[in-house]
């Protein structure tokens, strides 16, 4: 089973979606597609229709709360809305940027998310809440994936310790192939999009895709590209499908 998570950089507005997005999704061929930093609205009819045409007809979207971004999950298989809610936050960013679904056909659950760019005590509170949610799912066939705004391989990021804590308790946080998942306006790349995978599932591949031949998925300022984030591609062993 192939999972693709992609931050579309809509920045809390119902931004246009590049036609290249659909070419990229077609080439990536996901079974589950999770979009974060995405905003749903009246203009998305063509998006829904095009995703269905690409074999992803089943769709769920998180609630639009307090003007925050949302998460959209599209699937080849029927989806059920799950019961897990995002970390409680004062401005509802943790809740809006979080979506739990089940795939009954595969016996697998997914959470698409984006960690809001909080600082100070709000950041700590968010991560403590998120880790508690994840740890409460131990023993389930579940994957959390999206823009986590941190990198477990960079200890200077103080939130990296939470991903190390999860690794230490049996969760898989794969190190994707590829140089970066986000490219800044100045061309500096960082690796902040990740998956957190339950021990009951086996990861057989993880990579960042910033381009595919002439097709540009990510670039600084999104110039001639879909986003400033690469797509995160996670392949699970066949037993997940």
User: Per-residue pLDDT for 241 more than 70?
Assistant: no
Domain extent, residue 46, equals 2-240
CATH code assigned at 20: 3.60.10.10
Least confident of 3-12, 151-160, 207-216: 151-160
Comparing C-alpha atoms, which of 186, 183, 188 is closest to residue 211? Answer: 183
Contact present, 49 and 76 (Cβ < 8 Å): no
Percent of the chain residues past pLDDT 70, beyond the cut: 99
pLDDT tops 90 at residue 148:
yes
**Sequence-separated (6 or more) residues with CB below 8 Å from residue 5:** 34, 35, 36, 112, 145, 146, 147, 193, 195, 231, 232, 234
Is 213 within 8 Å of 240 (Cβ atoms)?
no
Supply φ then ψ for residue 126, to 5 degrees.
-60, -50
Task: List 74's β-bridge partners, or say none.
Answer: 33, 59
Q: How confident is residue 151, by pLDDT bands cut at 50, 70 and 90?
A: very high
Q: Measure CA of the first residue to CA of the last residue in the chain; give whole Å.
A: 5
Average pLDDT estimate for 136-153: 97
Query: What is the predicted pLDDT for the residue at 156?
Result: 85
Number of domains making up the chain: 1
Does the structure show a pLDDT above 70 at 240?
A: no
pLDDT over 90 at 155, yes or no: no
In order, the DSSP letters of 162-223 are: HHHHHHHTT-B----BSS-SEE-TTS-EE--EEEEE-TTS-EEEEEEESEETTEE-B-GGGT
Q: What is the pLDDT of residues 35-79, one digit of tens each?
A: 999 999 999 999 999 999 999 999 999 999 999 999 999 999 999
**In which band, very low, low, confident or very high, does the pLDDT at 130 lie, cut at 50, 70 and 90?**
very high
Per-residue pLDDT, averaged over 113-132, amounts to: 97
**Confidence band (pLDDT; 50, 70, 90) for 99?**
very high
- Please give the model's pTM, rounded to 2 decimal places: 0.96
Strand partners, 112: 99, 145
Residues in the chain: 241
pLDDT in tens, 14-23: 999 999 999 9
- Residue 118 clears pLDDT 90, i.e. is over it: yes
How many Cα atoms occupy the beta-carbon half-sphere of 54 within 13 Å? 23
Stated as kind and residue range, the H or E segment containing 24 is helix 20-28
| Mean pLDDT, the chain, whole residue set | 96
Q: Is the pLDDT of residue 175 over 80?
A: yes
């Amino acid at each position: 089973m192939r999972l693709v998570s992609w931050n579309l950089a809509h920045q809390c507005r119902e931004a246009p979606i590049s036609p290249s997005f659909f070419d990229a999704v077609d080439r990536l061929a996901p079974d589950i597609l999770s979009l974060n930093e995405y905003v749903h609205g009246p203009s998305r009819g063509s998006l829904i229709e095009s995703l269905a045409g690409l074999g992803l007809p089943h769709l769920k979207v998180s609630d639009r709360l307090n003007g925050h971004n949302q998460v959209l999950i599209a699937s080849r298989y029927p989806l059920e809305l799950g019961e897990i809610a995002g970390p409680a936050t004062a401005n509802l960013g943790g809740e809006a940027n979080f979506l739990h679904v089940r795939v009954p056909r595969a016996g697998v659950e997914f959470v698409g998310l984006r960690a809001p760019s909080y600082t100070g005590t709000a950041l700590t509170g968010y991560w403590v809440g998120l880790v508690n949610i994840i740890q409460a799912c131990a023993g389930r066939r579940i994957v959390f994936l999206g823009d986590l705004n941190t990198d477990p391989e960079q200890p200077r990021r103080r939130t990296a310790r939470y991903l190390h804590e999860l690794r230490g308790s049996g969760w898989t946080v794969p190190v994707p192939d590829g140089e970066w998942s986000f490219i800044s306006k100045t061309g500096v790349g960082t690796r902040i999009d990740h998956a957190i995978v339950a021990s009951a599932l086996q990861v057989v591949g993880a990579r960042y895709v910033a381009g595919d031949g002439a097709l540009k998925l990510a670039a600084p300022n999104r110039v001639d590209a879909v986003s400033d984030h690469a797509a995160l591609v996670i392949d699970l062993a066949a037993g997940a499908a």
